[in-house]
Structure formats: C-alpha cells, structure tokens
Amino acid sequence: MDPVTTFLEQCRTDVDTTLAARLAVSEAGSTRLLDAMKYSVLGGGKRVRPALCLAAAVAVGQSGEAAIVPACATELIHAYSLIHDDLPAMDNDELRRGRPTTHIAFDEATAILAGDALQTLAFDWLADAPMVDDQTRLAMVRELAKGSGHLGMVGGQAIDLESVGKHLSIEHLESMHRHKTGALIVAA
C-alpha cells in the first residue's frame, strides 16, 4: 500500500475505534435514540474529514492523539448532515452506503433527533477535547460552528433545496457545493 492509503486506513481505524468507544459510554436517555446515533455514525464511510483533521494536526507538529477527538467531532457533524439530507423533506433517500437510511431503519422523528443529538455531541466533545488548551478548544468550536451553520453546510443545503427543478449556472453549483461540503472540510 502507498503511504497515503496507509495513512487514510489508519485514520479510519483510529476514528472508528474512538467513535465506537465514546458512543458506548454515552448517557442518552433513550436507548432507541442512542441506537440511531450509533447506526448513523458507525455505519461505514471513508472518514475523509477526520483524516484531513488528523493530517492538519500532524502537519503543524501536533500529535494524532490530541487531534482524534476533534477529528471525530467533524465526523459527528458529517453524520448529522447525512441523516438530515436523507430525510423525506430533503432528498428523501432510502439507502445510504447500501443500507437503509436512518429514517427508514428507525423512523423520521428518531432520525431528526439522532441528527440533532450528533450535532450537539460534536460541540460537547470539542469543548472537552483532551490534550487541547482552552483557547484552541474555543477556536475549534468556532470553526466547526461556522463550517456547519447557515454560512456553511446548512446554508449549502438550503441553496440545494431552493435550486430543485432549476437550471443552475456553474458558479451557483460551485457555491452550493462549496457551502455543503467545502465549509465542513475547511473546519476539519
């Protein structure tokens, strides 16, 4: 395997292990909600955003160990965005990565709540990220909020919904994708 593929595979393994371990000790009041959260987050994926976060940490001389929780927080946001994107009111998808979407596997209300819970959990994890000083934690929370909010990913989804059935210019399409995907990648 080439070094990039090896790095990506190691990142995916580390992120999956950390996500599973941290979600296993969650104190969710509802077992069904926690099951939906786990289903959505642990259902596979390339883990590109966490890998970018881990690569950025290494590039600036930080340890992957210090960056693993922030990397996982970006994946929680990504999972929440996919849950909501698949909902009947959005793209109305029934399959994601070859298996039923969260609203099909559980129900629409549980899917919405699972997405909401994953979003807030991401910020909770960032706020308590181990081996990270308070100033850096605050900066990470701010960047993730910008990248995932109305000027970032959520704003891109709104543009997407407003564009249904319309012919889009290349510039408009690029803007939509820059918001939907690019803003979260920058935050990572």
Each residue of 2-52: pLDDT tens digit? 999 999 999 999 999 999 999 987 666 889 999 999 999 998 889 999 999
- As beta bridge partners, residue 81 has none
HSE (side-chain half, CA atoms, 13 Å) at 178:
7
The pLDDT value given to residue 142? 96
**Residue 60, Cβ density class (10 Å: 0-12 exposed, 13-18 middle, ≥19 buried):** exposed
The pLDDT value given to residue 100? 97
The pLDDT value given to residue 104? 98
Residue 174 pLDDT class (50, 70, 90 cuts) = confident
Cα 34-139-69 angle, rounded to 5 deg: 35
Cα 149-153-156 angle, rounded to 5 deg: 115
> CA–CA separation, 85 vs 81, rounded Å?
6
- As beta bridge partners, residue 95 has 100
- pLDDT single digits (tens) 72-84: 999 999 999 999 9
Residue 181 pLDDT class (50, 70, 90 cuts) = confident
Token pair of 116 as six digits = 């909401």
Token pair of 37 as six digits = 């959260």
Looking at residue 167, the DSSP 8-state letter turns out to be: P
Looking at residue 100, the DSSP 8-state letter turns out to be: E
User: Is the pLDDT at 164 greater than 90, yes or no?
Assistant: no
Token pair of 129 as six digits = 């990220």
The pLDDT value given to residue 140? 95
pLDDT > 70 fraction of the chain, expressed in percent and rounded: 98
Given a contact cutoff of 8 angstroms between Cβ atoms, the answer to whether 69 and 127 are in contact is: no
Instruction: Look at phi and psi of residue 165 and say left if phi exceeds 0, alpha if psi is from -120 to 50, else beta.
Output: left
The pLDDT value given to residue 27? 67
